[in-house]
Amino acid sequence: MKIITLIENTQGHPECRAEHGLSFYIEMGERRILMDTGASDAFLTNAGKLDVDLGTVDTVVLSHGHYDHGGGLPAFAARYPAARIYMQKSACGSFWHTYPDREDRCIGIRPELADLPQCVLLEGDARIGDGIALFTDIRGRRLWPEGNRELKRRVRGAYEQDTYEQDDFRHEQCLVLEAGSFHVLLSGCAHNGVLNILDRYRGLYGRWPDVLISGFHMKKDVYSGADLADIRKTAQELKETKVLCWTGHCTGQRAFEEMKEILGDQLRAIHTGGVLLDTGDMRL
């Protein structure tokens, strides 16, 4: 198994472009998987710089319906139409970031993606290959990310007036890779809360994964004392699992530093162009 970061907010390869987004290329046996596509088509160029042939990709997984994870899907689908794209049916909803002091901003993906012939719309958990599974239905709300409060879903209300509802993130799905007894869990932003995602995984598999790769959605302009306390509580619980955690994107540098003090080498940073995992040489 090999996992390479094609794009992330920070640069880790001199020839690769970084952006606010996330995309991973995965080799698992004969399978080639793309999880998320960043905010634009920049991941395509980065793949070339990293000697990754995206023409071999047979499976695309969209972690959730936000532009910074699915913005590059139209470009990929046009260039490589043979790859199947798996997303939750609700991922093409009208998702918005609302602000108290400025205009609200649409953060969804293009709804016509759902009509692509190679797109598989799921409603819940699915096994999409030998040792490859997706799960959703994450109901816990323990240490739920505070930043979610500003993320809404626009729906048609009474008298055909649009209204906002709190996003429940049912469109978020997680990818599990099983290489024998070695398990890797990938999420995009962990909007449902990283601890709740791990709890759901443990409920399904009866154990913790060996490796977790995910943004933690902790990034904020200003952190309150309560925010920092929640970050430390999350780190303490992660420490007890002994899971190796790779994080970046929406985690935020301040949150990463707070958790790093508790987790030490159990927590590692994701950067564009980085090899997160290569079980060929067990570089963990």
Residue 284 has pLDDT above 60, yes or no: no
Residue 24 has pLDDT above 60, yes or no: yes
For the chain, the domain total comes to 1
Does residue 44 lie in a domain region?
yes
The string of DSSP codes covering the chain is -EEEEEE-SSB-STTSPP-S--EEEEEETTEEEEE---SSTHHHHHHHHTT--GGG--EEE--SS-HHHHTTHHHHHHH-TTSEEEEEGGGGS-EEE--SSS--EE----GGGGG-TTEEEESS-EEEETTEEEE------TT--GGGGGEEEEEE-GGG-EEEEE---TT--EEEEEETTEEEEE-SS-TT-HHHHHHHHHHHHSS--SEEE-------SS--HHHHHHHHHHHHHHHHHT-EEEE-TTS-HHHHHHHHHHHGGGEEE--BT-EEEETTTT--
Residue 283 has pLDDT above 50, yes or no: no
Does residue 138 lie in a domain region?
yes
Residue 159 has pLDDT above 70, yes or no: no
Can you give the CATH number for the domain in which 49 is found?
3.60.15.10
**Tens digit of pLDDT for each residue in 139-152?**
999 999 999 999 99
Q: Tell me what pLDDT residue 115 has.
A: 97
Looking at residue 30, its amino acid is E
Parallel, antiparallel or unpaired: strands 105-106 and 95-97: antiparallel
User: Per-residue pLDDT averaged across 27-56, rounded?
Assistant: 98
Contact 212, 185 (CB under 8 A): yes
Does residue 284 lie in a domain region?
no
Q: Tell me what pLDDT residue 156 has.
A: 72
Does residue 74 lie in a domain region?
yes
* Tokens of residue 96, six digits: 């918005």
Does residue 124 lie in a domain region?
yes
**Tens digit of pLDDT for each residue in 171-218?**
999 999 999 999 999 999 999 999 999 999 999 999 999 999 999 999
Q: Tell me what pLDDT residue 157 has.
A: 66
Q: Tell me what pLDDT residue 279 has.
A: 86
Comparing 6-10, 70-74, 99-103, 159-163, the range with the smallest average pLDDT is 159-163
Does residue 73 lie in a domain region?
yes
Q: Which of 188, 81, 190 is nearest to 144 (CA)?
A: 190
| CA angle at 97 for the pair 125 and 257, rounded to the nearest 5° | 80
Q: Residue 46 sits in which domain range?
A: 2-278
